[in-house]
Structure 1
């Protein structure tokens, strides 16, 4: 076990940088946080584990995990004060430093297969919540636009309850350019056909817009809406969950 006691340590400085999308991209690492998420992950690791971080009250999990047997994973012990600076979502549990997977570009001209969710969401918590619902209601993949936040941001993974580690992820360029070049894209908007009565096709792409601007000014989109009473609109991820549930029911 390697002990670190200074903020000037290169490892600590790098981990501290992983609380931002910029840092994750720069270092090609992200930190998995959360007791339940880590126990689930260690049952069937789907990402390369680069290190484990503990404090004086925590015992290493990677040293005894059957799924990691034979792998030499460095374990770093930090004082609680330094550990808490890395544990940005406040889990007070072991942290795993993982290597992110390269997100595959969506093949040009590819037709939708099942329900594909397009997300330009820049807020990590919103992206995570959307991914959680997408996985729960049978989406085949999530397509991240150029505007989307990094799916390996700690707040995104926490909000997704680990769904972002399981859902197939693809990337495209700017959303407006993708819309102009593709058909079969439905946008969840305040003005559109009610999802409750919509005849859901098996294969389609459903775009979720940022709250506020939505899809104003975009042409060529087929629009769907979640009907509401007494309020003008719902939170984007709440509306998306309702739409995804509606799709799921239509397929069963």
Structure 2
């Protein structure tokens, strides 16, 4: 039996529409997941995270083995298109945001942990995808960071977010007392290629274009380039660093 919603004034629909922004995600503790590959994979690997699947036509999921906890909801065309911001024209999952406990930065890192302040959700999503691919043990999100379950972040992360340990990290000032070693990507530092990576470390990533604060007590690492461009995108640079650590391990 399918539940159907046709009115934009429906309280449940209005709540889901709020999940298109970080404020609504924080308030409700839920998120929307869209994508032709990500939705079936998420249902298979992390079914307990989800409670609803939003569709335009029942035949979309006629042969899907839905978990018992996932209820189908049919939305009128205009309502579905409002939520389908990526234009997938494919079922959308409603999920519960996993717990993101506060990080205790006074404790030493275990493996390679990322400390992140990327404010653009698409950049953050790309970083999370690389973090999952190269085995980062934890991603600590500072207050300046975008929400990891923003639709743009989830789209770029390609489900990488679900396999990562996420934690809240407070403000930049909190890093002054953080246990190290702390590492940061910056011009004029040690060569990333020859740097002897410690097994346990925290790699700190600043906002695109701003980098990390100059007074951050961290070892600076530099990625050598041809100099044809002034700098690398923060996510690209972080991915290169993650690969270098992973390859060296």
TM-score (norm 2): 0.93
Q: In the TM superposition, what is the alpha-carbon distance from 1:166 to its structure 2 partner? A: 1.0
Q: In the TM superposition, what is the alpha-carbon distance from 1:109 to its structure 2 partner? A: 2.1
The DSSP-based 3-state class of the residue aligned with 2:113 is: strand
Q: Is the 8 A contact 1:179 1:221 kept in 2?
A: no
Provide Cα deviations, 1:105-163, integer angstroms capped at 9, x if missing partner: 12352111111111111111011100111111121111111111111111111101110
Query: Mapping of 1:90-109 within 5 angstroms?
Result: 90-109=87-106
Partner of 1:85: 82
Within the alignment, does 1:184 sit opposite 2:181 as a pair? Answer: yes
Cα distance between partner residues in 2 of 1:62 and 1:160: 27
Task: Provide structure 2 residue ranges, at least 5 long, that are not aligned to the other structure.
Answer: none
Within the alignment, does 1:247 sit opposite 2:245 as a pair? Answer: yes
Q: Is the 8 A contact 1:135 1:167 kept in 2?
A: yes
The DSSP-based 3-state class of the residue aligned with 1:35 is: coil
Partner of 2:121: 124
Partner of 2:20: 19
The DSSP-based 3-state class of the residue aligned with 1:22 is: helix
Provide Cα deviations, 1:36-74, integer angstroms capped at 9, x if missing partner: 111111222254322111002752379633xx2xx2533
Task: Provide structure 1 residue ranges, at least 5 long, that are not aligned to the other structure.
Answer: none
Partner of 1:3: 4
Query: Mapping of 1:44-193 within 5 angstroms?
Result: 44-45=45-46, 47-56=48-57, 58-60=59-61, 64-65=65-66, 68=67, 71-193=68-190
Cα distance between partner residues in 2 of 1:72 and 1:205: 38
Alignment size in residue pairs? 247
Cα distance between partner residues in 1 of 2:62 and 2:139: 31
Indicate the RMSD between aligned Cα atoms, in angstroms: 1.7
Cα distance between partner residues in 1 of 2:214 and 2:88: 42
Cα distance between partner residues in 1 of 2:144 and 2:205: 12
Cα distance between partner residues in 1 of 2:119 and 2:62: 33
Query: Mapping of 1:226-237 within 5 angstroms?
Result: 226-229=223-226, 230-237=228-235
The DSSP-based 3-state class of the residue aligned with 2:53 is: strand
Provide Cα deviations, 1:177-226, integer angstroms capped at 9, x if missing partner: 22344331101112311111111111100011112221243231111111
TM-score (norm 1): 0.92
| CA gap 1:212/1:73 in 2 versus in 1, 3 angstroms | closer
